[in-house]
A and B are shown apart, each in its own frame.
Chain A
Amino acid sequence: MLRHLLPLLVLAVSVLSGAAHAEGRLVIENAWIRAAPPAAPMRAGYATLRNVGDAPLLVRGARSDAFGDITLHATQMDDGIARMRELEEIKLAPGEQAVLEPGGKHLMLMRPLRELNLAETATIVFEIGGGTSTATADFIVREAAEADPTDHH
Protein backbone atom coordinates (compact mmCIF):
# COMPACT_ATOMS: atom_id res chain seq x y z
CA MET A 1 0.00 0.00 0.00
CA LEU A 2 2.67 2.43 1.13
CA ARG A 3 4.91 1.40 -1.75
CA HIS A 4 2.22 2.36 -4.24
CA LEU A 5 1.77 5.73 -2.62
CA LEU A 6 5.44 6.63 -2.56
CA PRO A 7 5.80 7.58 -6.23
CA LEU A 8 2.94 10.04 -5.75
CA LEU A 9 4.99 11.80 -3.12
CA VAL A 10 7.84 12.38 -5.48
CA LEU A 11 6.81 15.78 -6.59
CA ALA A 12 9.69 16.94 -8.67
CA VAL A 13 13.16 15.74 -9.48
CA SER A 14 15.43 17.68 -11.75
CA VAL A 15 19.01 16.75 -12.45
CA LEU A 16 21.63 18.19 -14.73
CA SER A 17 21.54 15.63 -17.51
CA GLY A 18 24.76 14.89 -19.26
CA ALA A 19 23.23 11.88 -20.99
CA ALA A 20 26.56 10.64 -22.26
CA HIS A 21 28.22 9.85 -18.91
CA ALA A 22 27.09 7.95 -15.87
CA GLU A 23 25.64 10.06 -13.10
CA GLY A 24 23.73 9.95 -9.85
CA ARG A 25 20.08 10.82 -9.81
CA LEU A 26 18.33 11.78 -6.59
CA VAL A 27 14.75 10.78 -5.90
CA ILE A 28 13.07 12.17 -2.79
CA GLU A 29 10.20 10.20 -1.33
CA ASN A 30 7.89 10.40 1.66
CA ALA A 31 8.97 13.96 2.45
CA TRP A 32 7.45 15.52 5.54
CA ILE A 33 8.00 18.16 8.19
CA ARG A 34 6.98 17.51 11.75
CA ALA A 35 4.09 19.63 12.97
CA ALA A 36 5.43 21.97 15.62
CA PRO A 37 4.18 24.68 17.93
CA PRO A 38 3.85 28.12 16.30
CA ALA A 39 6.53 29.25 18.75
CA ALA A 40 9.07 26.73 17.42
CA PRO A 41 12.16 28.53 16.08
CA MET A 42 13.30 25.37 14.33
CA ARG A 43 11.66 22.48 12.53
CA ALA A 44 12.78 19.05 11.35
CA GLY A 45 12.31 17.62 7.87
CA TYR A 46 12.34 13.93 7.01
CA ALA A 47 12.39 12.00 3.72
CA THR A 48 13.87 9.02 1.96
CA LEU A 49 16.69 10.07 -0.38
CA ARG A 50 17.40 7.51 -3.06
CA ASN A 51 20.06 7.47 -5.75
CA VAL A 52 18.39 5.94 -8.81
CA GLY A 53 21.31 6.89 -11.08
CA ASP A 54 24.31 4.84 -12.11
CA ALA A 55 27.04 6.84 -10.36
CA PRO A 56 27.54 7.88 -6.73
CA LEU A 57 26.13 11.22 -5.66
CA LEU A 58 26.68 13.62 -2.81
CA VAL A 59 23.85 15.52 -1.15
CA ARG A 60 25.63 18.66 -0.03
CA GLY A 61 22.83 20.72 1.45
CA ALA A 62 19.37 22.13 0.97
CA ARG A 63 17.54 25.45 0.73
CA SER A 64 13.97 26.68 0.78
CA ASP A 65 12.12 29.97 0.58
CA ALA A 66 10.24 28.86 3.71
CA PHE A 67 13.34 28.80 5.95
CA GLY A 68 16.27 31.09 6.65
CA ASP A 69 18.73 28.21 6.62
CA ILE A 70 18.76 24.43 6.28
CA THR A 71 21.46 22.03 7.44
CA LEU A 72 21.84 18.28 7.41
CA HIS A 73 21.88 16.87 10.92
CA ALA A 74 21.92 13.57 12.74
CA THR A 75 20.69 12.84 16.23
CA GLN A 76 23.02 10.47 18.01
CA MET A 77 22.05 8.69 21.18
CA ASP A 78 25.01 8.08 23.44
CA ASP A 79 24.01 6.30 26.63
CA GLY A 80 20.62 7.98 26.75
CA ILE A 81 22.00 11.42 25.85
CA ALA A 82 20.65 12.94 22.63
CA ARG A 83 23.32 14.80 20.67
CA MET A 84 22.72 16.68 17.44
CA ARG A 85 25.58 16.90 15.02
CA GLU A 86 25.80 18.57 11.63
CA LEU A 87 26.54 16.36 8.62
CA GLU A 88 28.82 17.71 5.89
CA GLU A 89 27.11 15.66 3.23
CA ILE A 90 25.20 12.48 2.58
CA LYS A 91 26.90 10.13 0.11
CA LEU A 92 24.74 7.72 -1.87
CA ALA A 93 26.09 4.91 -4.03
CA PRO A 94 24.00 3.90 -7.05
CA GLY A 95 20.83 2.25 -5.76
CA GLU A 96 21.56 3.32 -2.20
CA GLN A 97 19.09 5.22 -0.04
CA ALA A 98 19.31 7.30 3.12
CA VAL A 99 16.30 7.44 5.38
CA LEU A 100 15.89 10.75 7.18
CA GLU A 101 13.69 9.87 10.15
CA PRO A 102 12.87 10.91 13.73
CA GLY A 103 15.75 10.14 16.07
CA GLY A 104 18.21 9.83 13.16
CA LYS A 105 19.33 11.89 10.19
CA HIS A 106 17.14 14.89 9.46
CA LEU A 107 17.02 18.29 7.85
CA MET A 108 17.29 21.06 10.39
CA LEU A 109 14.94 23.77 9.16
CA MET A 110 16.04 26.98 10.83
CA ARG A 111 14.29 30.33 11.14
CA PRO A 112 10.88 29.62 9.56
CA LEU A 113 9.97 32.57 7.30
CA ARG A 114 6.27 31.82 7.35
CA GLU A 115 3.82 29.77 9.38
CA LEU A 116 3.63 26.16 8.35
CA ASN A 117 0.48 24.54 9.67
CA LEU A 118 -0.70 20.96 9.43
CA ALA A 119 -1.08 19.73 5.81
CA GLU A 120 0.71 22.78 4.38
CA THR A 121 3.82 22.25 2.28
CA ALA A 122 7.25 23.80 1.85
CA THR A 123 9.37 23.29 -1.25
CA ILE A 124 12.92 22.22 -0.46
CA VAL A 125 15.73 22.17 -3.02
CA PHE A 126 18.61 19.72 -2.46
CA GLU A 127 22.05 20.65 -3.70
CA ILE A 128 23.88 17.73 -5.26
CA GLY A 129 27.56 17.26 -6.00
CA GLY A 130 29.29 20.55 -6.61
CA GLY A 131 26.02 22.44 -6.45
CA THR A 132 25.47 22.31 -10.18
CA SER A 133 22.51 19.98 -9.98
CA THR A 134 19.53 19.99 -7.71
CA ALA A 135 16.52 17.89 -6.79
CA THR A 136 13.33 19.41 -5.45
CA ALA A 137 10.51 18.05 -3.32
CA ASP A 138 7.49 19.41 -1.51
CA PHE A 139 7.54 18.55 2.18
CA ILE A 140 4.14 18.24 3.82
CA VAL A 141 3.53 19.10 7.48
CA ARG A 142 2.41 16.06 9.48
CA GLU A 143 2.03 15.11 13.13
CA ALA A 144 4.11 11.98 12.69
CA ALA A 145 5.57 9.67 10.08
CA GLU A 146 3.04 8.19 7.68
CA ALA A 147 1.09 5.10 8.76
CA ASP A 148 1.37 6.14 12.38
CA PRO A 149 -2.02 5.45 13.99
CA THR A 150 -1.50 8.37 16.40
CA ASP A 151 -1.90 10.72 13.45
CA HIS A 152 -5.64 10.83 14.03
CA HIS A 153 -7.79 10.95 17.12
Chain B
Amino acid sequence: MNTRHNSGRTLPTALILIAAFAAGLGLWLLSQQFTNREPATTALTRYPTPRAIATFQLARSDTKPFTQADLQGQWSLVFFGFTNCPDICPNTLGVLKQVRAQLVQSGAGDRIRVYFISVDPQRDQPDTLGRYAAYYDPAFIAATGSDEELTRLTRSLGVMYTRGPASGDQYTVDHSASIALVDPQARLVGLFRPPLEAATIGTDLLTLINSRQ
Protein backbone atom coordinates (compact mmCIF):
# COMPACT_ATOMS: atom_id res chain seq x y z
CA MET B 1 0.00 0.00 0.00
CA ASN B 2 2.76 2.35 1.06
CA THR B 3 4.98 1.30 -1.83
CA ARG B 4 2.20 1.94 -4.33
CA HIS B 5 1.53 5.26 -2.81
CA ASN B 6 5.21 6.21 -3.13
CA SER B 7 5.48 5.14 -6.74
CA GLY B 8 2.32 7.14 -7.39
CA ARG B 9 4.19 10.21 -6.13
CA THR B 10 7.36 9.54 -8.10
CA LEU B 11 5.62 9.89 -11.45
CA PRO B 12 4.18 13.42 -10.83
CA THR B 13 7.56 14.55 -9.47
CA ALA B 14 9.28 13.35 -12.62
CA LEU B 15 6.62 15.04 -14.73
CA ILE B 16 7.07 18.30 -12.85
CA LEU B 17 10.83 18.08 -13.37
CA ILE B 18 10.39 17.38 -17.08
CA ALA B 19 7.85 20.20 -17.38
CA ALA B 20 10.21 22.60 -15.58
CA PHE B 21 13.06 21.57 -17.84
CA ALA B 22 10.89 22.00 -20.93
CA ALA B 23 9.76 25.41 -19.75
CA GLY B 24 13.36 26.42 -19.14
CA LEU B 25 14.38 25.18 -22.55
CA GLY B 26 11.44 27.03 -24.10
CA LEU B 27 12.44 30.26 -22.41
CA TRP B 28 16.02 29.84 -23.48
CA LEU B 29 14.96 29.17 -27.07
CA LEU B 30 12.67 32.20 -26.97
CA SER B 31 15.44 34.40 -25.65
CA GLN B 32 17.73 33.08 -28.40
CA GLN B 33 15.08 33.85 -30.97
CA PHE B 34 14.59 37.31 -29.46
CA THR B 35 18.33 37.96 -29.61
CA ASN B 36 18.36 36.88 -33.24
CA ARG B 37 15.48 39.16 -34.06
CA GLU B 38 17.18 42.16 -32.43
CA PRO B 39 20.79 41.88 -33.51
CA ALA B 40 23.46 44.00 -31.91
CA THR B 41 23.86 47.49 -33.36
CA THR B 42 26.44 50.02 -32.24
CA ALA B 43 25.62 53.39 -33.79
CA LEU B 44 21.82 53.20 -33.67
CA THR B 45 19.87 54.70 -30.76
CA ARG B 46 16.99 52.26 -30.86
CA TYR B 47 13.45 52.53 -29.52
CA PRO B 48 12.44 49.64 -27.22
CA THR B 49 9.80 48.71 -29.80
CA PRO B 50 9.40 50.06 -33.35
CA ARG B 51 6.93 52.94 -33.51
CA ALA B 52 4.19 53.39 -36.09
CA ILE B 53 4.50 56.49 -38.29
CA ALA B 54 1.64 58.92 -38.79
CA THR B 55 0.20 59.42 -42.27
CA PHE B 56 1.71 62.34 -44.16
CA GLN B 57 1.77 63.76 -47.66
CA LEU B 58 4.85 65.45 -49.07
CA ALA B 59 5.95 66.15 -52.64
CA ARG B 60 9.13 64.74 -54.12
CA SER B 61 11.41 66.96 -56.18
CA ASP B 62 10.22 65.05 -59.28
CA THR B 63 6.64 66.12 -58.26
CA LYS B 64 5.56 62.57 -57.32
CA PRO B 65 3.88 62.31 -53.92
CA PHE B 66 5.80 60.95 -50.95
CA THR B 67 3.55 59.34 -48.38
CA GLN B 68 3.72 56.87 -45.52
CA ALA B 69 2.97 54.05 -47.99
CA ASP B 70 6.29 54.68 -49.78
CA LEU B 71 8.11 53.64 -46.61
CA GLN B 72 6.74 50.08 -46.91
CA GLY B 73 8.83 47.33 -48.42
CA GLN B 74 12.39 48.49 -47.79
CA TRP B 75 14.45 50.19 -45.11
CA SER B 76 14.56 54.00 -45.20
CA LEU B 77 17.01 56.56 -43.85
CA VAL B 78 15.36 59.95 -43.43
CA PHE B 79 17.32 63.16 -42.86
CA PHE B 80 15.83 66.64 -42.49
CA GLY B 81 17.71 69.75 -43.58
CA PHE B 82 17.66 72.56 -46.15
CA THR B 83 19.91 73.83 -48.93
CA ASN B 84 20.78 77.09 -47.10
CA CYS B 85 22.52 74.96 -44.48
CA PRO B 86 26.22 75.03 -45.37
CA ASP B 87 27.76 73.17 -42.45
CA ILE B 88 25.70 70.32 -40.99
CA CYS B 89 23.65 69.29 -44.03
CA PRO B 90 26.53 68.78 -46.51
CA ASN B 91 28.36 66.87 -43.80
CA THR B 92 25.41 64.56 -43.15
CA LEU B 93 24.65 64.07 -46.85
CA GLY B 94 28.33 63.21 -47.38
CA VAL B 95 28.03 60.57 -44.64
CA LEU B 96 24.84 59.19 -46.20
CA LYS B 97 26.59 59.00 -49.57
CA GLN B 98 29.30 56.83 -48.02
CA VAL B 99 26.75 54.70 -46.18
CA ARG B 100 24.85 53.98 -49.37
CA ALA B 101 28.09 53.22 -51.25
CA GLN B 102 28.93 50.64 -48.57
CA LEU B 103 25.49 49.03 -48.91
CA VAL B 104 25.70 48.98 -52.70
CA GLN B 105 29.11 47.35 -52.44
CA SER B 106 27.62 44.69 -50.15
CA GLY B 107 24.83 44.02 -52.62
CA ALA B 108 22.20 45.63 -50.37
CA GLY B 109 21.74 48.84 -52.33
CA ASP B 110 18.15 48.04 -53.25
CA ARG B 111 17.18 47.20 -49.66
CA ILE B 112 17.30 50.80 -48.48
CA ARG B 113 16.22 54.27 -49.62
CA VAL B 114 17.72 57.57 -48.53
CA TYR B 115 15.44 60.59 -48.13
CA PHE B 116 16.52 64.23 -47.78
CA ILE B 117 13.52 66.21 -46.58
CA SER B 118 13.72 70.01 -46.73
CA VAL B 119 12.28 71.81 -43.71
CA ASP B 120 12.57 75.10 -45.64
CA PRO B 121 9.85 74.77 -48.31
CA GLN B 122 9.73 78.56 -48.87
CA ARG B 123 13.25 78.72 -50.24
CA ASP B 124 13.79 75.15 -51.46
CA GLN B 125 12.02 74.86 -54.78
CA PRO B 126 11.62 71.24 -55.98
CA ASP B 127 14.06 71.64 -58.87
CA THR B 128 16.85 73.13 -56.72
CA LEU B 129 16.22 70.61 -53.97
CA GLY B 130 16.38 67.68 -56.38
CA ARG B 131 19.63 68.81 -57.96
CA TYR B 132 21.11 69.49 -54.52
CA ALA B 133 20.38 65.96 -53.25
CA ALA B 134 21.36 64.27 -56.52
CA TYR B 135 24.81 65.83 -56.33
CA TYR B 136 25.56 63.52 -53.42
CA ASP B 137 23.88 60.44 -54.89
CA PRO B 138 21.42 60.32 -57.80
CA ALA B 139 19.47 57.67 -55.86
CA PHE B 140 18.72 60.05 -52.97
CA ILE B 141 15.09 61.10 -52.88
CA ALA B 142 14.43 64.75 -52.04
CA ALA B 143 11.03 65.96 -50.86
CA THR B 144 9.33 68.74 -48.96
CA GLY B 145 5.83 70.00 -48.19
CA SER B 146 3.76 72.26 -45.99
CA ASP B 147 4.78 72.95 -42.41
CA GLU B 148 1.73 71.01 -41.26
CA GLU B 149 2.76 67.85 -43.13
CA LEU B 150 6.44 68.30 -42.27
CA THR B 151 5.55 68.60 -38.59
CA ARG B 152 3.47 65.41 -38.72
CA LEU B 153 6.43 63.52 -40.13
CA THR B 154 9.15 65.03 -37.92
CA ARG B 155 7.09 64.43 -34.77
CA SER B 156 6.47 60.88 -35.87
CA LEU B 157 10.17 60.29 -36.46
CA GLY B 158 11.28 61.71 -33.11
CA VAL B 159 12.98 64.78 -34.63
CA MET B 160 12.09 68.47 -34.81
CA TYR B 161 12.75 71.72 -36.64
CA THR B 162 12.10 75.35 -35.91
CA ARG B 163 12.73 78.51 -37.88
CA GLY B 164 15.27 80.87 -36.33
CA PRO B 165 14.98 84.65 -36.17
CA ALA B 166 15.03 86.40 -39.56
CA SER B 167 17.14 89.39 -40.51
CA GLY B 168 15.89 90.67 -43.85
CA ASP B 169 15.43 87.71 -46.18
CA GLN B 170 18.03 85.78 -44.21
CA TYR B 171 16.87 83.25 -41.64
CA THR B 172 18.09 79.93 -40.48
CA VAL B 173 16.28 76.73 -39.56
CA ASP B 174 17.30 74.86 -36.44
CA HIS B 175 16.81 71.16 -36.99
CA SER B 176 17.66 67.76 -35.57
CA ALA B 177 20.96 66.50 -36.88
CA SER B 178 19.89 62.87 -36.42
CA ILE B 179 19.03 60.42 -39.20
CA ALA B 180 15.83 58.42 -38.66
CA LEU B 181 15.78 54.71 -39.52
CA VAL B 182 12.48 53.25 -40.72
CA ASP B 183 11.98 49.49 -41.17
CA PRO B 184 10.24 47.80 -44.15
CA GLN B 185 6.96 47.79 -42.15
CA ALA B 186 7.13 51.62 -42.17
CA ARG B 187 7.90 51.78 -38.43
CA LEU B 188 10.49 54.00 -36.77
CA VAL B 189 13.24 51.75 -35.43
CA GLY B 190 15.58 54.39 -34.05
CA LEU B 191 17.89 57.32 -34.75
CA PHE B 192 21.48 57.67 -35.79
CA ARG B 193 22.60 60.64 -33.70
CA PRO B 194 25.67 62.81 -34.26
CA PRO B 195 28.59 62.45 -34.35
CA LEU B 196 27.79 60.40 -37.44
CA GLU B 197 30.26 57.81 -38.62
CA ALA B 198 29.54 56.28 -42.02
CA ALA B 199 31.27 52.94 -41.41
CA THR B 200 29.44 52.08 -38.18
CA ILE B 201 26.09 53.21 -39.59
CA GLY B 202 26.67 51.03 -42.66
CA THR B 203 27.60 48.04 -40.53
CA ASP B 204 24.49 48.49 -38.35
CA LEU B 205 22.28 48.64 -41.44
CA LEU B 206 23.81 45.52 -42.96
CA THR B 207 23.29 43.70 -39.64
CA LEU B 208 19.63 44.72 -39.53
CA ILE B 209 18.99 44.03 -43.23
CA ASN B 210 20.60 40.59 -43.06
CA SER B 211 18.65 39.69 -39.91
CA ARG B 212 15.39 40.08 -41.81
CA GLN B 213 16.01 38.32 -45.09
Pair A80/B193 contact, Cβ less than 8 Å:
yes
CB distance from B87 to the nearest CB of A (A): 5
A39-B128, A80-B193 known; A102 vs B135 contact (CB < 8 Å): no
Choose one: B132, B170, B194; the contact of A40 (CB below 8 Å).
B132
Pair A42/B176 contact, Cβ less than 8 Å:
no
CA A6 to CA B90, docked complex, whole Å: 25
A-B contact count (CB 8 A): 86
Given A84-B85, A150-B98, 12 additional A-B pairs, CB 8 A: A34-B86, A36-B90, A37-B133, A37-B135, A38-B135, A42-B86, A80-B178, A82-B88, A82-B174, A103-B87, A103-B194, A103-B195
Pair B172/A84 contact, Cβ less than 8 Å:
yes
Prevailing SS type, chain B contact patch: mixed
Question: Is residue B175 within 8 Å, beta carbon to beta carbon, of the partner chain?
Answer: yes
Pair A82/B86 contact, Cβ less than 8 Å:
no
Question: Is residue B155 within 8 Å, beta carbon to beta carbon, of the partner chain?
Answer: no
Pair A42/B84 contact, Cβ less than 8 Å:
yes
Question: Is residue B181 within 8 Å, beta carbon to beta carbon, of the partner chain?
Answer: no
B129 / chain A contacts, CB cutoff of 8 Å? 39
Pair A83/B174 contact, Cβ less than 8 Å:
yes
Question: Is residue B208 within 8 Å, beta carbon to beta carbon, of the partner chain?
Answer: no
Binary per-residue interface labels of chain A (40-71) against chain B in the complex, 1 for a CB within 8 Å, 0 otherwise? 11111000000000000000000000000000
CB-CB nearest in chain A for B162: A81
A80-B193, A84-B164 known; A75 vs B87 contact (CB < 8 Å): yes
B136 / chain A contacts, CB cutoff of 8 Å? 37
Question: Is residue A25 within 8 Å, beta carbon to beta carbon, of the partner chain?
Answer: no
Binary per-residue interface labels of chain B (163-183) against chain A in the complex, 1 for a CB within 8 Å, 0 otherwise? 010000010101111100000
CA A110 to CA B170, docked complex, whole Å: 10
Question: Is residue B160 within 8 Å, beta carbon to beta carbon, of the partner chain?
Answer: yes
Pair A40/B94 contact, Cβ less than 8 Å:
no
B176 / chain A contacts, CB cutoff of 8 Å? 80-82
Choose one: A35, A37, A75, A143; the contact of B88 (CB below 8 Å).
A75
A81-B176, A84-B172 known; A37 vs B132 contact (CB < 8 Å): yes
A109 / chain B contacts, CB cutoff of 8 Å? 86
Pair B177/A81 contact, Cβ less than 8 Å:
yes
A144 / chain B contacts, CB cutoff of 8 Å? 94
Which residues of A in the span 60-100 have a Cβ within 8 Å of any Cβ on B?
A: 73, 75, 77, 80-84
Interface size on A, residues (CB 8 A): 28
Pair B131/A37 contact, Cβ less than 8 Å:
yes
B84 / chain A contacts, CB cutoff of 8 Å? 41-42
A143 / chain B contacts, CB cutoff of 8 Å? 94
Pair B177/A77 contact, Cβ less than 8 Å:
yes
Pair B87/A44 contact, Cβ less than 8 Å:
yes
Binary per-residue interface labels of chain A (99-123) against chain B in the complex, 1 for a CB within 8 Å, 0 otherwise? 0001100101110000000000000
Choose one: B83, B135, B164, B198; the contact of A150 (CB below 8 Å).
B198
Question: Is residue B210 within 8 Å, beta carbon to beta carbon, of the partner chain?
Answer: no
Question: Is residue B91 within 8 Å, beta carbon to beta carbon, of the partner chain?
Answer: yes
A73 / chain B contacts, CB cutoff of 8 Å? 87
Q: Could you write out 24 A-B pairs with CB less than 8 Å apart?
A: A34-B86, A34-B90, A34-B91, A36-B135, A37-B83, A37-B133, A40-B83, A40-B90, A41-B84, A41-B123, A41-B128, A42-B84, A44-B90, A77-B194, A80-B193, A81-B176, A82-B174, A82-B175, A82-B176, A109-B86, A110-B170, A144-B94, A150-B98, A150-B198
CB-CB nearest in chain B for A44: B86
